């Protein structure tokens, strides 16, 4: 089995050293970058499987690095943000990051986030007789769960791992209203207390990618949460 290739971009050598020592025990292949520019260059040269970006870095900050990496390839990104900086977290998600971890953090937490991302990206093994249940269709939209593929009006669109999982979760229970807390628990799978705007950001991005079908599929239930509504 190939080792997971992880890029950590942080201008603090102590942070990189702590992560390196812990990731060695996890059998991860670690690449390091001291700033955003070096991170972008490393992605182009070494093609890591996942990128961890600190927000505050010299030459190029994590936000700009995230933008440039997203233009070049579809790769999972985790942002490292200062504790309490909600703006940083929301902006990182809007730029295409899959997750964020607030400083100070433990290497164990970071590893859990990485594993959670790749667990969601892994296709589920289903029996051949259940293949039909792996496709959901509504409102001109088709979702193939095994292939993690979304087709809108005969065109394939690209969703980030959590965007896809959130859409599938809602699509499996059309008409059911879920609170943001329920969606965080079911889709993200770990404690996100106090960060419910994460759901709002992902819903907004899904709506935009579904060919601008604003409000046609994922409905906001004010004061409660969201539901996927399909015309009968």
Instruction: Please give the pLDDT value at position 127.
Output: 41
C-beta of residue 219 within 8 angstroms of C-beta of residue 112? no
Mean pLDDT computed over 94-111: 84
Are residues 61 and 55 in contact, defined by beta-carbon separation less than 8 angstroms?
Answer: yes
pTM of the model: 0.67
Per-residue pLDDT tens over the stretch 161-177: 788 889 999 999 988 99
Structure tokens at 200: 């709002």
Percent of all residues in the chain with a pLDDT value above 90, rounded to a whole number: 34
* 52 beta partners: 8, 78
Give the pLDDT of residue 215.
46
In contact, 37 and 61? CB cutoff 8 Å = no
Other Cβ atoms less than 10 A from the Cβ of 124: the count is 9
Question: Which secondary structure element, helix H or strand E, spans residue 155, and what is its range?
Answer: strand 155-157
Confidence of residue 187 (pLDDT cuts 50, 70, 90): confident
pLDDT at 69 over 60: yes
Residue 133 has pLDDT above 60, yes or no: no
Which percentage of the chain shows pLDDT scores above 70? 84
Helix (H) or strand (E) holding 220: strand 218-221
Nearest CA to 69 among 7, 155, 3?
7
């Amino acid at each position: 089995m190939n080792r997971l290739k992880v890029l950590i971009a942080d201008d603090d050598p102590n942070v990189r050293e702590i992560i390196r020592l812990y990731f060695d025990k996890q059998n991860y292949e670690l690449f390091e970058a001291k700033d955003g520019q070096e991170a972008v260059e490393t992605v182009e040269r070494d093609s890591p499987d996942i990128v961890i970006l600190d927000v505050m870095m010299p030459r190029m900050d994590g936000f700009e690095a995230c933008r440039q990496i997203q233009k070049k390839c579809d790769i999972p990104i985790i942002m490292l943000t200062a504790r309490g900086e909600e703006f940083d977290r929301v902006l990182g998600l809007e730029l295409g990051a899959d997750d964020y971890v607030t400083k100070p953090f433990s290497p164990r937490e970071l590893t859990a986030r990485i594993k959670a991302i790749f667990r969601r990206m892994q296709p589920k093994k289903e029996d051949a007789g259940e293949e039909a249940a792996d496709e959901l269709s509504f409102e001109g939209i088709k979702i193939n769960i095994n292939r993690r593929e979304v087709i809108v009006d005969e065109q394939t669109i690209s969703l980030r791992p959590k965007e896809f999982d959130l859409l599938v979760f809602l699509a499996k229970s059309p008409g059911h209203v879920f609170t943001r807390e329920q969606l965080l628990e079911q889709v993200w799978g770990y404690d996100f207390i106090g960060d419910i705007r994460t759901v709002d950001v992902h819903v907004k991005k899904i709506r935009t990618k579904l060919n601008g079908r604003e409000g046609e599929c994922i409905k906001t239930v004010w004061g409660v949460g969201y539901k996927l509504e399909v015309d009968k």
